[in-house]
Amino acid sequence: MKRIISIFLVLVLTLTLFAGCGSKANENEIRIGINYELSGDVASYGQASVEGIELAIEEVNKAGGINGKLIKPIKYDNKSDHSTATTLATKLMTQDKVVAVLGPATSGAFKATIPEAIKNKVPVASGSATDDSVTVDENGVKEYAFRICFTDSFQGTAMANYALKNMSATKAAVLMDSSSDYGKGLAKNFTDTFEAGGGKVVASEAFVAGDTDFNAILTKIKGNDFDVIFISGYYNEAGLIIKQARAQGINTPILGPDGFGAPELVELAGADALNDVYFSSHFSVLDKDPSVSGFIESFKAKYGKEPDQFAALGYDLAMFVIDGIKRAGSTDPVAIKDALAATKDFVGVTGSFSMDENHNPVKAVVVVGIENGVHATSERVEQ
């Protein structure tokens, strides 16, 4: 009996020592979760965002980390699925014990994770979730949710004002993705602002994600007199709409949101169709600011290609959260949440910003012009 007890005590002591060693090792790292769309319908956004995030973390770790502690990213693929995103958020917070979660990229998936953030008191932040209700709803501000991108209402408004003031447009046609909050919110804000500014929306048609033949709705709007077309949707459908519109001889300028900002747009539309196309963006490689140029060179050195707006947003998102951890002086998620909410004059490659009372950044939008499939112009429009 004594022998059995002795063996048991030795085993307990050994396990305790191993547990102690593991705990000590964890004290030297700061865990940050990455919950992104790395496969599925919007994988282009997630993959680019994570490339930017990983570059930022690599740079910070090479410089010594945060107060001597290295960042350990814990990355999962939510497969562009809302329920999977929620499950992974729970896992990151309760099992992986991260201090914050980056992502998802899209508004719907990000919103699905916010109840878990509130429940577990762990901040979540997105670089590209633009739906207005992401951080605030009828119940008030969502305390643990943050974003560093402008909202749908702002980019819908910005593109309507761009059409009115920069293009002297007075009549517009609107094609809306009615299957997403993103598409509906953008269409509403564009329409409201355009008409409040003296313009008129002469035609409005809806489509849903996954549609591939848009010739019928293009034929319907073709008979109207309009100066611009606004497409409120993602690149998947927008690329095909632009291709089919140009094939029907509709050569009117086409405007769109940040959902146009993926390389697949060129693949779907074809370079020849992408002329006189403008979209709201968070970033442009045409920006000559030294900090932006440095980021572009570092990104090209790591990945062998130029960054798009989602890569830039991912980079800024990681740096925003890292900055919050540094200012919090703690790895306590509640303290980090408070530091993120108090952010002032953060300088990023997508622009400088401060957090407002609704956890939204006050920043400019960049309008990018495409000619022959290439980003040819960029213009910054302030809020």
Domain boundary among 214, 249, 281: 281
Rounded mean pLDDT of 196-218? Answer: 97
Is there a single domain that holds both residue 90 and residue 167? no
| Shared domain check, 136 and 67 | yes
**In this structure, are 78 and 128 located in the same domain?**
yes
Report the CATH number that the domain containing residue 214 is assigned in CATH: 3.40.50.2300
> At 198, is the pLDDT very low, low, confident or very high (cuts 50, 70, 90)?
very high
Distance of alpha carbon 143 from alpha carbon 136, whole angstroms: 9
Q: What is the mean pLDDT of residues 215-231?
A: 97
pTM for the whole thing?
Answer: 0.79
- Of 181 and 200, which is predicted with more confidence? 200
Q: How far is CA 343 from CA 31, 33, 162, 351, in A?
A: 21, 20, 29, 14
Element (H, E) at 74: strand 70-77
Q: Are residues 58 and 92 in the same domain?
A: yes
**pLDDT confidence band for 381 (50 / 70 / 90):** confident
State phi, psi for 31 to the nearest 5 degrees.
-90, 125
Q: Which of 25, 29, 21, 22 is nearest to 69 (CA)?
A: 29
Instruction: Kindly state whether residues 71 and 183 are assigned to the same domain.
Output: no
Q: Are residues 270 and 294 in the same domain?
A: no
Interval 67-118: pLDDT, tens: 899 999 999 999 999 999 999 999 999 999 999 999 999 999 999 999 999 9
Residue 226 and residue 126 share a domain = no
User: What is the span of the domain harbouring residue 203?
Assistant: 153-281
Residue 8 within a domain: no
How many structural domains does the chain have?
Answer: 2
> Residue 10 pLDDT > 70, yes or no?
no
Among residues 176, 31, 175, the alpha carbon closest in space to that of 100 is found at: 31
- 5: in domain: no
> Does 329 share its domain with 217?
no
Model confidence over 130-151: pLDDT tens digits? 888 999 999 999 999 999 998 8
Q: Mark whether 146 and 160 lie in a shared domain.
A: no
pLDDT at 25 exceeding the cut of 70 = no
Same domain, 210 and 316: no
What is the rounded average pLDDT of the residues 211-216?
98
Of all residues in the chain, what percent carry a pLDDT higher than 90?
A: 81
Residues 216 and 253 in one domain: yes
